[in-house]
């Protein structure tokens, strides 16, 4: 028991002091209100499949941008059956900045979202003023009016090929309060933002809800064809683009998701869709991940409650570090610090979801999203 407790403590000491201080949530879009040094053409590409509940507010927020340069919003209707495009048209109220593209089927070897994005980028390239930057944003994302101006200014000032914001996720229901802050915490732990933003580091990641991309660099990197089968497309794109220049990723409160997850089952579907893909569909990596999470998150409270002697003391310290590490993320989501005590139970929930993701994949139902099964589409 002493060995296990010491190992768990060593893991938390590493996470706290040697993993890019990911837990501090320090990488944010809190730079001063910028002056846009240039006004390059920008186009937003919004892939949407059955997004009637969200698309109106999303398109309205994009059309309300104060960006002073040429600005176009391209909605790609990905075979929706709920009137997504019609709702967007009504919300635009004749605004000529909105262009709607109807998706042309789904070729073999592509995920639905990436095929829709490719068509949107092609439409952007055909504009009278082709964009210097393309904003890839989801159909459930609402932007502050100065969002694009700030993104472009940051990208221009730092010569970035990719500027990405992890949007503020909806976090009001009990299920969301359990899972959403931990989701952000785990993502930062996997891809420490400080390392992502360091030019010399090989760590690359992005958050798909908001990604401003240099159009010429994207073309040079092979376009969306280079990642056409990727289920975790944002991080795949970041890896491809970082080989061509610096990227930046940070947290934001200015860009928000309005997608709701009212029940645990809704959270489960979100995680199950891509968790096993994150592990490269490897049973060996899955087993190692489960063991590592159990050692890191479950063992400290178990030994703190049921252990004895020095092992118990060490376990209490490890659990305390876990509690402390989670606090900045909880503050970001304006939740009580006491949620930190629930981290072991939350981690167990994510372990179960990850195992479920592997089971769904083995049953041929991997990557399920709005009627499509997309895991390993390159093999289909």
Domain ranges of the chain: 2-22+265-379, 25-262
Residue 301 is predicted with a pLDDT of 97
Q: Within 10 A of 265 (CB to CB), how many other CB atoms are there?
A: 10
Q: Within 10 A of 272 (CB to CB), how many other CB atoms are there?
A: 23
Residue 79 is predicted with a pLDDT of 87
- pLDDT tens digits for 163-216? 999 999 999 999 999 999 999 999 999 999 999 999 999 999 999 999 999 999
| Spatial distance between the Cα atoms of 160 and 59, rounded to a whole number of angstroms | 26
Q: Within 10 A of 194 (CB to CB), how many other CB atoms are there?
A: 18
- Please state whether 172 falls in left (phi above 0), alpha (psi between -120 and 50) or beta: alpha
The CATH number of domain 25-262, selected from 3.30.420.40, 3.40.980.10, 3.90.550.10, 3.60.150.10: 3.90.550.10
> Has residue 260 got a pLDDT over 90?
yes
Give the bridge partners for 42, in sequence order: 71, 133
Residue 174 is predicted with a pLDDT of 96
Residue 114 is predicted with a pLDDT of 94
Residue 93 is predicted with a pLDDT of 78
Backbone angles phi and psi of 91, in degrees to 5? -65, -30
Non-local CB neighbours of 377 within 8 Å, separated by 6+ positions: 108, 109, 110, 111, 229, 367
| Spatial distance between the Cα atoms of 373 and 69, rounded to a whole number of angstroms | 39
Q: Average pLDDT, whole number, for the chain? A: 93
Query: Mean per-residue pLDDT for 80-98?
Result: 86
* pLDDT level of residue 42 (50, 70, 90 thresholds): very high
Task: Indicate the burial class of 308 (C-beta count within 10 angstroms; 0-12, 13-18, 19 or more).
Answer: exposed
Residue 380 is predicted with a pLDDT of 43
Residue 4 is predicted with a pLDDT of 95
* pLDDT level of residue 371 (50, 70, 90 thresholds): low
pTM of the prediction? 0.94
- Cα-based angle 184, 191, 26 (whole degrees, multiple of 5): 65
| Spatial distance between the Cα atoms of 279 and 336, rounded to a whole number of angstroms | 32
Residue 368 is predicted with a pLDDT of 66
* pLDDT level of residue 335 (50, 70, 90 thresholds): very high
Percentage above 90 pLDDT, the chain? 83
Residue 59 is predicted with a pLDDT of 95
> Has residue 67 got a pLDDT over 50?
yes
Tell me the DSSP string of 71-98: EEEEEEE-S-SS-HHHHHHHHHTT-TTE
- pLDDT tens digits for 263-296? 999 999 999 988 999 999 999 999 999 999 999 9
């Amino acid at each position: 028991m002493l060995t296990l407790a010491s190992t768990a403590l060593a893991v938390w000491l590493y996470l706290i002091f040697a993993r890019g201080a990911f837990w501090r949530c320090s990488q944010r879009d809190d730079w001063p209100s910028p002056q846009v040094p240039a006004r390059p053409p920008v186009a937003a590409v919004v892939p949407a499949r059955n997004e009637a509940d969200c698309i109106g507010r999303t398109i309205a927020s994009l059309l309300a941008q104060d960006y002073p340069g040429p600005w176009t919003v391209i909605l790609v209707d990905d075979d929706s059956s709920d009137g997504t495009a019609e709702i967007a048209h009504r919300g635009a109220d004749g605004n000529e900045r909105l262009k709607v593209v109807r998706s042309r089927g789904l070729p073999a070897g592509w995920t639905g979202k990436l095929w829709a994005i490719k068509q949107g980028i092609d439409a952007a390239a055909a504009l009278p003023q082709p964009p210097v930057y393309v904003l890839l944003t989801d159909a459930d994302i609402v932007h502050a009016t100065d969002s694009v101006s700030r993104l472009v200014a940051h990208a221009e000032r730092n010569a970035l090929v990719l500027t990405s914001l992890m949007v503020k996720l909806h976090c009001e229901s009990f299920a969301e309060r359990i899972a959403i802050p931990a989701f952000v915490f785990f993502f930062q732990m996997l891809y420490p933002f400080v390392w992502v933003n360091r030019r010399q580091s090989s760590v690359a990641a992005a958050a798909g809800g908001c990604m401003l991309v240099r159009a010429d660099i994207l073309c040079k990197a092979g376009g969306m064809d280079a990642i056409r089968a990727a289920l975790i497309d944002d991080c795949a794109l970041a890896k491809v683009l970082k080989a061509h220049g610096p990227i930046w990723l940070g947290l934001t409160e200015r860009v928000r998701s309005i997608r709701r997850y009212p029940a645990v089952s809704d959270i489960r579907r979100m995680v199950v869709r891509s968790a096993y893909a994150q592990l490269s569909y490897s049973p060996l990596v899955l087993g190692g991940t489960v063991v590592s999470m159990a050692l890191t998150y479950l063992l400290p409270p178990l030994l703190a409650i049921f252990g004895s002697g020095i092992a118990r003391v060490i376990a209490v310290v490890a659990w305390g570090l876990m509690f402390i590490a989670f606090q900045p993320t909880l503050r970001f989501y304006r939740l009580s610090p006491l949620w930190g005590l629930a981290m072991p139970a939350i981690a167990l929930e994510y372990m179960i979801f990850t195992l479920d993701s592997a089971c769904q994949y083995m049953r041929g139902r991997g990557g399920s999203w709005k009627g499509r099964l997309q895991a390993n589409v390159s093999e289909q």
